[in-house]
Amino acid sequence: MTSLRAATHTSLSLVGDELRSVIDLLASGEDDALDEFADAVAGASRVFLMGAGRSGIALRMTAMRLMHLGLVVHVVGETTTPAIGAGDLLIVASGSGTTGSVVRAATTAHAVGATVCAITTASDSPLVAVARVVVQVPAAAKLDRSEQASAQYAGSLFEQAVVVIGDALFDALWRAGQQSADELWPRHANLE
């Protein structure tokens, strides 16, 4: 049992170190993607979010926080999600940039005049081709088992970065909007 405990501590440090490295690269400000991302959210009539698997779960966390800001937010695939249109924003996450359902949704959104913001590891992909804003995460894609970009399994580092990017986006918008935490609190779920 002692060896498993040591492994858990080592793994926690590994995850933290890799995530810190990605955050440092994204925060370096070498491109304007994060600022453009925040501007797109702030200027959207409605915000739609979509990802498959763990990327989709990570974006659901962002959807919740954007709703707490008072934005009109929809998670693609829910039965109450309306049609997207011009003036709306679709935020998508796909490490590979080739996930079929995500690329189809982004293509549809683009075709009807909505803005598409993509979070991906792939700079040259079908998803990037239709996105107006691309946040490229320096992490391993799901099928990369080389351990060059990340020692973690599959797309774990990418998915962790999606959560952190979403929380940073929320925090930036929250601070810019100057709402107090007390003003956001009544939007939290009360049917739990």
The length of the chain is: 192
CA separation, residue 148 to residues 6, 16, 139, 145, 160 (Å): 23, 17, 9, 8, 17
Q: What is the mean pLDDT of the chain?
A: 92
Domain ranges of the chain: 2-181
150 pLDDT higher than 80 = yes
Segment 51-66 shows an average pLDDT of 96
pTM: 0.93
Question: Alpha-carbon distance 48 to 26, whole Å?
Answer: 23
Q: Is 36 annotated as catalytic?
A: no
* CATH architecture observed for domain 2-181: 3-Layer(aba) Sandwich (3.40)
Q: Which residue in 36, 78, 147, 159 is the catalytic one?
A: 159
pLDDT at 145 over 60: yes
Give me the amino acid identity at 3.
S
Q: Does the structure show a pLDDT above 60 at 126? A: yes
Is the per-residue pLDDT at 181 higher than 70?
A: yes
Residue scoring higher pLDDT (61 or 140): 61
